[in-house]
Each structure stands twice: as C-alpha cells, then as structure tokens.
Structure 1
C-alpha cells in the first residue's frame, strides 16, 4: 500500500454523496477507471468527499478497500433496483449502517460558551468510515426526489447524477465533458455534406 496514493481521478459531479461514491468507478472496457486501488485511496476519497478531516492523521483500517468496493457494488444495485422497480437484497447496506452507527456526544464549546451536539465515527473500522455513505444512499433511495436520479445520456458514459436543476432537464453528468462532446457530435452530424 502506498501512503501517498490518492483517489486519483475522483469525480464529484453527481450532487449526491452516494452517487459520487458509486461514480468512483467509471468508464467501460479499456477506459474503465477505479479510484479505489488500496485502503489509502479510499481514505483519500473520503477526505475529498468531506467525510474525514484533512487535518486529522488516520491510519487506514485493514479491509477498507474490500468493503468500499463491495459497498459500491451493492449501492449501485440498490440504485438500479430503485430506478427499475426490481428488488435486490440490501443486506450489506444494512450491515454497514448497523456496524457504522456514529456516536453522538454532548460537548461544551468554549468559544460560544454553550453546549453542542457532536457526532463522531464509532471507531476506525471500515464500516464506521463508510457509514455516512450508506446513510446517504438510504436517504437518496427513500427520498421523494429520487425520480430525478439519472444516468448520463452520453453513449459511452455510465455516471449517475441527481438532477437538482430547477427545470430537471439535466442530461449529462457534466456539461464540460459529456455535454460538450455530445453537442459537438450532434452539430457535426447535422452539418455533414
């Protein structure tokens, strides 16, 4: 394992934590890319996603990569099931939710001279670190705005996104990448001699 590895190529464009987690593996065939190559790259992704503080040095727990990849596959299956109406077994999601249940504490905040509720991971286990992703997935598939979860319309893109635009007409994962490519291709096909 390389302690300097990062979640190279991580895309945060889905407007949803659970979908960004699923999108940590993207592309097809020879163009397939997996941001999770070892435990440290998963830790890096969690930091980039805002789930871990950049200032806190944490040791990556053993088994984090395996659980992250399994959780990602299960999350993808759950989202597909919610989109198609074909049920799947959410057992792994429920296991991560239970094992990763955060701990809430009442703490005194000296600067504000008041109490505050603080939430912390239960421990440094893979399930505790990935628990917020599982919680985000549950919130996504049980929310009334799930109908706005879409897959990019580009023919060679597998990325998912949550269309939170006012008109709900977003078609591509990113206008800068797939949207631009598809518009250029459409323009060229219309203007062929």
Structure 2
C-alpha cells in the first residue's frame, strides 16, 4: 500500500504503547505499515501526540536522513520486541519476574534527554493558562525512540494486563486496552471488525432460516 493510499494511523487502543504496536496491522487482511522510514516515524509520533508539531523542525535540523531512517528501523525492531512481551503477558497479571525481560527498555530509557517547560495554552472555556509540558533534546536517533519507550514504561507500570486484548476479527491484528465499563470489548472498532462480525452473523442467521 502506497503512502497516498494509506489511511491515518489507527489510534484505537486507548493506550499509546499499544497504539504503537498497531502501527503495523492488517484490519483488512493485508499488512499496513505506518513506519517505513524516518519521515513516517516523525509523522506517526506527531499523529499519536507523543511529540509536538513544533518539534518537527528541531528534529530535522539535528538529525540526518540516515539517522532518521535508522531510528525507523530500530523503532520497528523495538515494536516487535514489545509485541512479544505483550503477547506473552496479555490476559494475566505481570509478576516481578518480568523485570529482566524489560532490560532493553530500561537501557533505552536511561539515555533519554527529557526536560520540562512552562508554556502558554489557549483554552476555549478557561482562556489563557500556563501549560506544564515535556520536551526532548534531539541529539541522536535513539531520542526519537525515547518518546515511545516512555509510553511503554508507563504502560507496563500502570496498565492492568488482564485487560489487554487482541481484536477478535479473524484477520485483524490490532491490540487494545479494554477500558469499557464491563470489560466486554471484543473488536478494534465497530466500524471495522464489529460491523463485519454483525454482518457475518446476520448472513448466517438468514441462511439458517
């Protein structure tokens, strides 16, 4: 699928770390890859609101095309490492023995160049107010990965892994955190796999009659 044909990234997981796993997925049976190169990685990070739009110019000023593409390759590798971790632990509590599995993530986080700033934000209801936000210094390709690694770390420490689920669509690969009221969510979204399941059930019922 070309960039022109590719839809916007699917951010349906109710968690940024799982949304990252879904940056490659097959909701219609064929893989869609949103991080093919460095440009894709930057745009995905902005779309997922893991970095701010105004940081794009800083990133391109500091990192070469080669460094950006290297970051994209490492991001894809990190994504599959994290997919393995999530697949192993989804549906059950994560115990302390999993800490050793998280060493690659801790190693990456140790090099983060994060700092905090006070800015101004315009709110339609509250008007102008101060805004406490986090930014990064962009020195090397790993700095792009740190924005994702931070979300992975938050996810591991705060998410209930018993509520981590894979869409029940027969060809769908999307993950999500089930934060629904009764934890009965089955589909990545009703507009994709949910509607297909309803249509299939309707056809089966009609055929039975």
Gapped regions of structure 2 (runs ≥ 5): 121-128
Query: How far apart are 1:100 and its partner, in Å?
Result: 2.2
What TM-score do the two structures reach when normalised by structure 2? 0.76
Higher helix share: 2
Q: Which has the higher contact order (CA 8 A, sep 6+)?
A: 2
Query: How far apart are 1:169 and its partner, in Å?
Result: 0.7
Q: What's the C-alpha RMSD, in Å, of the aligned pairs?
A: 3.1
Tell me if the contact between 2:29 and 2:171 (Cα under 8 Å) persists in the aligned partners. no
Rounded Cα–Cα distance in structure 2 between residues aligned with 1:20 and 1:118: 21
What is the SS of the residue equivalent to 2:180? coil
Tell me if the contact between 2:27 and 2:174 (Cα under 8 Å) persists in the aligned partners. no
Gapped regions of structure 1 (runs ≥ 5): none
- The answer as to 2:141 corresponding to 1:134 is no
Deviation per CA, 1:107-156: give whole Å up to 9, x if none: 587xxxx9976532132433222223212222222325221111001111
Aligned length, in residue pairs: 186
Tell me if the contact between 1:12 and 1:20 (Cα under 8 Å) persists in the aligned partners. yes
Tell me if the contact between 1:100 and 1:130 (Cα under 8 Å) persists in the aligned partners. no
Rounded Cα–Cα distance in structure 2 between residues aligned with 1:13 and 1:115: 30
Rounded Cα–Cα distance in structure 2 between residues aligned with 1:12 and 1:31: 18
1:92 to 104, 112, 132: 104
Tell me if the contact between 1:74 and 1:92 (Cα under 8 Å) persists in the aligned partners. no
Match in the other structure for 1:184: 199
- The answer as to 2:74 corresponding to 1:67 is yes
What TM-score do the two structures reach when normalised by structure 1? 0.81
- The answer as to 2:89 corresponding to 1:77 is no
Change (3 A) 1:143 1:52: closer
